[in-house]
């Protein structure tokens, strides 16, 4: 973090400088080191600044695989691709939780330890800072000339009055003052300190930091994240059975989901048609209609990549899109047993060459299955279809048909993007290419499959994070506190007045000053100005003695100082 170190010790005493490193370690010779000492030592280690920094670094390091490997939550198809391309490595990575880094136990371990470390460090510090913000300045040192800044002059005022005048000036400049105690009245001095806002800023920074941690925890416990793939023209309600993925916080149940419903009316994506950027997306626009609660008024909204919809405490983000080719399948009896747009997912090869499967579990006499590739702008390159542009300018699908047992009548739930062909046999020797409107007749009178067209789909991320706004506020507050603590210096000014050796010499006024945390300078000029001001105030006061004026100087124009 910063050098925000609780200033509980006096800067004049380097030996008392607070030491960040925990001291009586097990290596210290002598007394036996019991379990309680170990515990104490461990806690001191954990809450030390160094460990906090190490944990912060570890946290950053631990999130690296989260951005380098596809993640289960945000990119499940990417994970599947990784499994097929690295069949040996992927299970091990999965065992280590690297496909779901932010939910992995070891990530939580670092996070929780950091949390404990910060709380253990910040809470006592907060108390110390609060105490420090209320302390009085120390007593004036005896030899002010030894301070980094000092000045000395004489005045005709008696010492007590000189100090009085100085106190008035300093108090007028916003200094906090300390005068000798009653028992100490033989001395004439005043200590003044300014810049307590630095401690306030420090305090704000620490409290806000705690606030950020609490907000993040709040979001983790009471928030949820969900994904839903929505085909153009379809609707969904924010309820668990309508979501593809649902990751609730620890205290979130199915009943906590917001009761909104949403329909995707239209999705448009446009791409740069020429030049070096050809094929790059230039704009997305998902027009949705939504109602906040059943029976509520329907509203429309244009979702864009960085323009989420806030509805009912949740935020809906547009995070992806693709094509859903529409198929109609008739079986051997001539019954239409499948008629729907089927979302295909774009692979790594670019230009939205997408893959998907069609499962027809109720076809007679045997179940049917198809694996397919959707090519938005198809070009035949040496017998294989390739996509040369992401927009659907010349769409085509290529299908391989299977018949047999899909494995859907019992057993584990299946992915809609995978076809288990272990109990099926292939009906077509080679992939069959279809253009919109074209049909493929299946052998042995098993029926037909027709590629009737395509519609776009979008994938939506629905998040509810009650900690988001508090985290933002605390973040801003911590930044403000940090700025305050960086920009404001604690500085002290002391004034001592002593009677001179003889009455003619008057009173010697010594002014000394130091900035307690001076990094950049600037105190020099402030001190010089302050010393000059004190001097002129003393001169002025000496010319108008309040008690026994030696001579009347009514016409004297310098009155304003009084």
Partner 1 sequence: MLRALSRGTLPARALPVRARRRRRVVLAAIVLAGVLLIVVLVTSLAGSGNSGVSTVGGNASTVVYQAGHRPLAPEFTGTTLTGSKLSFSSYRGKVVVLNFWGSWCVPCREEAPILAAVAGKYQPSGVSFLGVDVRDTTASALAFTHSFHVAYPSVIDQSSAITLDFTAKVPIAGTPTTLVVDRTGHIAGAVFGTVTYPGLTAIVAKVTAEGG
Question: Please, what is the minimum distance in Å from the beta carbon of residue 407 to partner 1?
Answer: 8
Phi (first) and psi of residue 360, to 5 degrees: -120, 85
- Residue 299 within binding range of partner 1, rule CB under 8 A: no
Give me the DSSP letters along 422-487: TTEEES-SSPEEE-TT-EEEEGGGTEEEEEEEEEEEEEEEEEE-TTHHHHHHHHHHHHHHHHHHHH
Phi (first) and psi of residue 194, to 5 degrees: -140, 160
Question: Please, what is the minimum distance in Å from the beta carbon of residue 510 to partner 1?
Answer: 26
- Sole binder of partner 1 in the list 69, 170, 209, 243 (CB under 8 A): 243
- Residue 246 within binding range of partner 1, rule CB under 8 A: yes
Part of the chain binding partner 1 (CB under 8 A), chosen from 119-127, 184-192, 245-253, 378-386: 245-253
- Sole binder of partner 1 in the list 63, 234, 438, 543 (CB under 8 A): 234
Question: Please, what is the minimum distance in Å from the beta carbon of residue 187 to partner 1?
Answer: 30
- Sole binder of partner 1 in the list 254, 272, 273, 483 (CB under 8 A): 254
Paired strand residues for 287 = 266, 302
470-483 CB burial, b ≥16 within 10 A, e <16: bbeebeebbeebbe
For partner 1, which is the closer residue by CB, 339 or 426?
A: 339
Find, among 337, 456, 342, the residue nearest to 399 by Cα.
Answer: 342
Tokens of 80: 């599947």
- Residue 193 within binding range of partner 1, rule CB under 8 A: no
- Residue 241 within binding range of partner 1, rule CB under 8 A: yes
Place of tokens 């791409």: 271
Please check whether residue 342 is in contact with residue 326, taking contact to mean a CB–CB distance below 8 angstroms: yes
- Residue 253 within binding range of partner 1, rule CB under 8 A: yes
For partner 1, which is the closer residue by CB, 50 or 307?
A: 50
Question: Please, what is the minimum distance in Å from the beta carbon of residue 545 to partner 1?
Answer: 47
For partner 1, which is the closer residue by CB, 31 or 348?
A: 31
CA-to-CA separations, 348 to 94, 229, 344, 345, in angstroms, rounded:
21, 19, 13, 10
Of 477-506, binders to partner 1 (CB under 8 A) are: none
For partner 1, which is the closer residue by CB, 168 or 516?
A: 516
Integer Cα distance of 503 and 186 in angstroms: 18
For partner 1, which is the closer residue by CB, 27 or 502?
A: 27
Question: Please, what is the minimum distance in Å from the beta carbon of residue 538 to partner 1?
Answer: 36
Part of the chain binding partner 1 (CB under 8 A), chosen from 78-86, 164-172, 242-250, 541-549: 242-250
- Residue 257 within binding range of partner 1, rule CB under 8 A: yes
- Residue 45 within binding range of partner 1, rule CB under 8 A: yes
- Sole binder of partner 1 in the list 4, 6, 51, 488 (CB under 8 A): 51
- Residue 1 within binding range of partner 1, rule CB under 8 A: no
Paired strand residues for 8 = none
- Sole binder of partner 1 in the list 53, 60, 89, 112 (CB under 8 A): 112
- Residue 266 within binding range of partner 1, rule CB under 8 A: no
Question: Please, what is the minimum distance in Å from the beta carbon of residue 336 to partner 1?
Answer: 5
Integer Cα distance of 418 and 428 in angstroms: 18
Of 3-32, binders to partner 1 (CB under 8 A) are: 14-15, 17, 19, 21-22, 25-27
105-132 and 49-62 helices cross at what angle (nearest 10)? 150
Question: Please, what is the minimum distance in Å from the beta carbon of residue 282 to partner 1?
Answer: 31
Q: The sheet that has 261-271: what strands, in order across it?
A: 235-237, 261-271, 281-291, 298-303
- Sole binder of partner 1 in the list 52, 110, 458, 484 (CB under 8 A): 110
Please check whether residue 435 is in contact with residue 418, taking contact to mean a CB–CB distance below 8 angstroms: no
Paired strand residues for 493 = 192, 513
- Residue 236 within binding range of partner 1, rule CB under 8 A: yes
Q: How many residues bind partner 1 (CB under 8 A)?
A: 68
Integer Cα distance of 134 and 555 in angstroms: 46
- Sole binder of partner 1 in the list 75, 81, 235, 439 (CB under 8 A): 235
Percent helix, percent strand, percent coil in the chain, to nearest 5:
30, 30, 40
Tokens of 345: 């997912």
- Sole binder of partner 1 in the list 250, 381, 502, 552 (CB under 8 A): 250
For partner 1, which is the closer residue by CB, 102 or 196?
A: 102
Of 327-366, binders to partner 1 (CB under 8 A) are: 328, 331, 335-340, 359-364
Question: Please, what is the minimum distance in Å from the beta carbon of residue 269 to partner 1?
Answer: 24
Integer Cα distance of 278 and 272 in angstroms: 5
Integer Cα distance of 305 and 303 in angstroms: 7
Part of the chain binding partner 1 (CB under 8 A), chosen from 169-177, 202-210, 403-411, 548-556: 403-411
Integer Cα distance of 208 and 313 in angstroms: 24
Tokens of 223: 């928030």
Place of tokens 């940090």: 482
Phi (first) and psi of residue 137, to 5 degrees: -65, 155
Q: What does the binding site for partner 1 look like in residue numbers (CB under 8 A)?
A: 14-15, 17, 19, 21-22, 25-27, 42, 45-46, 50-51, 54, 103, 105-106, 108-110, 112-113, 234-243, 245-248, 250, 253-255, 257, 259, 261, 263, 294, 328, 331, 335-340, 359-364, 408-414, 416
């Amino acid at each position: 973090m910063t050098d925000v170190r609780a200033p509980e010790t006096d800067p004049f005493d380097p030996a008392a400088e607070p030491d960040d490193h925990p001291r009586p370690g097990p290596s210290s010779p002598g007394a036996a080191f019991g379990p309680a000492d170990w515990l104490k030592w461990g806690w001191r280690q954990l809450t030390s600044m160094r460990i906090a920094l190490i944990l912060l670094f570890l946290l950053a390091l631990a999130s690296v695989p989260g951005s380098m490997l596809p993640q289960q939550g945000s990119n499940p198809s990417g994970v599947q691709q990784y499994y097929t391309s690295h069949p040996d490595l992927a299970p091990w990575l999965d065992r280590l939780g690297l496909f779901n880094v932010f939910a992995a136990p070891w990530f939580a371990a670092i996070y929780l330890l950091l949390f404990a470390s910060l709380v253990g460090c910040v809470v006592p510090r907060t108390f110390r800072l609060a105490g420090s913000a209320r302390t009085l300045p120390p007593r004036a040192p005896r030899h002010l000339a030894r301070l980094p800044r000092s000045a000395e002059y004489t005045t005709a005022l008696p010492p007590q009055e000189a100090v009085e005048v100085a106190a008035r000036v300093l108090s007028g400049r916003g200094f906090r003052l300390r005068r000798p105690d009653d028992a100490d009245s033989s001395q004439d001095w005043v200590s003044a300190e300014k810049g307590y806002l630095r401690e306030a800023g420090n305090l704000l920074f620490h409290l806000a930091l705690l606030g950020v941690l609490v907000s993040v925890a709040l979001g983790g416990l009471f928030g949820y994240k969900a994904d839903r793939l929505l085909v153009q023209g379809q609707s969904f309600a924010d309820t668990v059975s309508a979501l593809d993925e649902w990751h609730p916080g620890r205290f979130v149940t199915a009943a906590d989901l917001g009761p909104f419903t949403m329909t995707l009316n239209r999705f448009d994506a446009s791409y740069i048609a020429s030049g070096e950027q050809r094929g790059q997306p230039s704009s997305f626009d998902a027009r949705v209609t939504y109602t906040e609660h059943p029976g509520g008024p329907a509203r429309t909204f244009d979702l864009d990549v960085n323009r989420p919809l806030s509805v009912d405490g949740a935020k809906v983000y547009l995070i992806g899109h693709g094509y859903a080719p529409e198929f109609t399948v008739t079986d051997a009896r001539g019954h239409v047993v499948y008629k729907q747009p089927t979302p295909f997912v774009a692979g790594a090869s670019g230009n939205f060459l997408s893959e998907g499967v069609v499962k027809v579990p109720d076809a007679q006499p045997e179940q049917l299955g198809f694996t397919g590739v959707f090519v938005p702008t198809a070009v035949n390159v040496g017998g294989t279809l390739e996509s040369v542009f992401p927009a659907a300018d010349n769409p085509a699908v290529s299908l391989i048909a299977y018949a047999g047992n899909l494995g859907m009548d019992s057993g584990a739930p299946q992915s809609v993007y995978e076809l288990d062909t272990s109990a099926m046999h292939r009906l077509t020797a080679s992939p069959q290419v279809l253009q919109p409107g074209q049909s493929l007749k299946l052998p042995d009178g098993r029926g037909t499959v027709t590629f009737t067209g395509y519609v776009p789909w979008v994938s939506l991320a629905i998040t509810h994070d009650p900690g988001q706004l508090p985290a933002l506020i605390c973040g801003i507050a911590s930044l403000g506190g940090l700025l305050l603590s960086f920009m404001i210096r604690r500085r002290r000014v002391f004034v001592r007045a002593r009677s001179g050796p003889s009455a003619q010499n008057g009173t010697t006024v010594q002014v000394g000053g130091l900035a307690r945390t001076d990094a950049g300078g600037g105190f020099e000029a402030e001190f010089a100005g302050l010393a000059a001001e004190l001097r002129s105030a003393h001169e002025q006061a000496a010319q108008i003695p309040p008690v026994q004026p030696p001579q009347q100087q009514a016409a004297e124009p310098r009155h304003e100082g009084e």
